[in-house]
Chain A
């Protein structure tokens, strides 16, 4: 993937670039707002990772201008703030996701991947298929092999998110945000609890588990469960 990183802090930027490159991505960088906007306007990026506070041109304003020019590159905001309306401000300016520093690198990578995999606007999927599982978004029904798997609404959403990002690492925080709408870290292992229920329902016939737990990071639903 081709990724644009706009960040004014040199050490954060270096870490960002080297880690993304290590994960196999081509990264271009900018250290201030105007330079970032110039690069981003090319529109040739799969994802842009943009710091909220930039010299020359604020990150919010950068994305606002980008969107005004019709560039739809998915944007992940980085910020040190977590003020009460920061997230909403970021999304309203045209950002697609939001990550508060300090963050684990796996978290950043998972979000970049999730953004890159977003279906283009206008294409609506009704059935998701992966790992021999079929998830019907209209009938709200899940089948594994030929069996119907009976899921609670949140378990369904959990599986849906995993399937939309099949083959990629999905973090606990991504799941909290997308399945429950919790943009904070609860103490209780809500995700783990629901994940274990989902697994026991999916694997009730002792099939191989399609969901892999990555310790300290999150989960991967393998496309081909075997």
Chain B
């Protein structure tokens, strides 16, 4: 699955190794301190042991003189398991009983007791009433033995900690790599072009699972944007080919048929008009794309929504009347929202033009602005043929046109621009049955900071 190099480079293993080394150092320090403390305590205990023994022998002497002392010592000598050695030294330095070496190792026979380094014995020496001394000594072999045992125990612990730490490190880094590997594999697949791939979740809600969820959401968003982009490219290719081929045909026809300067001038005028229409589609698309991609609202100001709607109603009253339709307005005054004035004007112009274009003569179009608490709500209603319920969502899409509207002028971008502008302002466009006709409701948040997507 992973090469040793990958494992060694793994951050998990490096952390585990670092942790192991720190752990081993602390085990070592604890061990060293334990040995020192234990050895110290044992040495002090040994010293107390010989002091007590010497005192006991002095007591024997005081109770029954040299005889009792010798009897007691004989008893001690009879016990083979003891490491304790004894000597009785006369005033002139002769060892009369016991271990002669004691006198040599005890550098100062006159000292009450002596402490020697290393395995040298602990010695206690006491004056007896008759000028002689009794000496008791105990070597430290036992202490050293215990010390060695403890030290060895800690060495073993150190080795076990090292092995465990290393093993755990490998396991942890393996597990980390395994978890990250699913992320890497999915990301690679996405890079390779398969945007449908998602990272498998374990459902454990740990940090990896949460990361996977976040990355999946990011992939959903990218997928959505890509689908949108593909759709737009297809739409552009399709909807721009029509006017472009019309332009080409007309130019071709001119080339063949035109004879006079006037013919050519007419043809050029028509070509300019057609080009303007194509440019108009381009700028409408560009504008929708810019509005959809806009992330900052630096251009937003506090604007008077009532005033904008009034201007639109006023501007369209005459054209509507000329077209045999009536436009009525019921606009609540002084409704202010944070917005881009130009974009809002365009939104309402598009909606009114849409209504004018898709209703028969004699229709009435009403424009209304009201306040519903936290929202400013604009309603544009007509009594025309309306939009079938199943088509209402579609008409907000780019280039989408109802079958019966194919013959009326328009590029199918008006309502998608409306949706994009409303979205930028944190608003919502709802299409419904105007009973009869179509009702478009646009609700804007009235707070000072409109929410963004």
Contact = CB atoms under 8 A, between A and B. Distances in A.
A84 B340 contact: yes
Contact of B340 (A85, A102, A182): A85
A84 to B, nearest CB: 6
A189 interface: yes
B69 interface: no
A201 to B, nearest CB: 12
B409 A181 contact: no
Interface stretch (B195-203, B251-259, B316-324, B430-438): B316-324
Interface stretch (A124-132, A140-148, A159-167, A190-198): A190-198
B283 interface: yes
Given A85-B299, A181-B341, A188 B356 contact: yes
B349 A186 contact: yes
Interface residues of B, number: 33
Contact of B315 (A85, A154, A185, A187): A154
B216 to A, nearest CB: 32
A82 B349 contact: no
Interface stretch (B162-170, B284-292, B364-372): B284-292
Interface in A152-207: 153-154, 180-190, 193-194, 197
Contacts of A84: 290-291, 294, 299, 340, 342-343, 424
Contacts of B342: 84, 87, 182-184
Contacts of B424: 84
B341 A154 contact: no
A187 B410 contact: yes
B287 A188 contact: no
Contact of A193 (B280, B299, B319): B319
B74 interface: no
Contact of B322 (A87, A100, A193): A193
B353 interface: yes
B151 interface: no
Contacts of B279: 102
A154 B409 CA distance: 27
B82 to A, nearest CB: 102
B346 interface: yes
Nearest to A184: B346
Nearest to A197: B318
Contacts of A188: 316, 319, 353, 356
A190 B290 contact: no
A88 B343 CA distance: 12
B31 to A, nearest CB: 71
A147 B166 CA distance: 104
A84 B292 CA distance: 11
Contacts of A87: 342
A181 B290 contact: no
Nearest to B282: A102
A216 interface: yes
Contact of A181 (B287, B318, B322, B345): B345
Contacts of B349: 182, 184, 186
Nearest to A183: B342
Interface in A6-57: none
Contacts of B298: 85
Contacts of A180: 311, 315
A216 B343 CA distance: 26
Given A182-B349, A190-B316, A193-B322, 8 more contacts: A85-B340, A88-B299, A100-B283, A102-B279, A184-B345, A184-B346, A187-B353, A189-B319
10 contacts: A84-B290, A84-B291, A84-B299, A84-B342, A154-B314, A184-B345, A184-B346, A188-B319, A190-B316, A194-B315
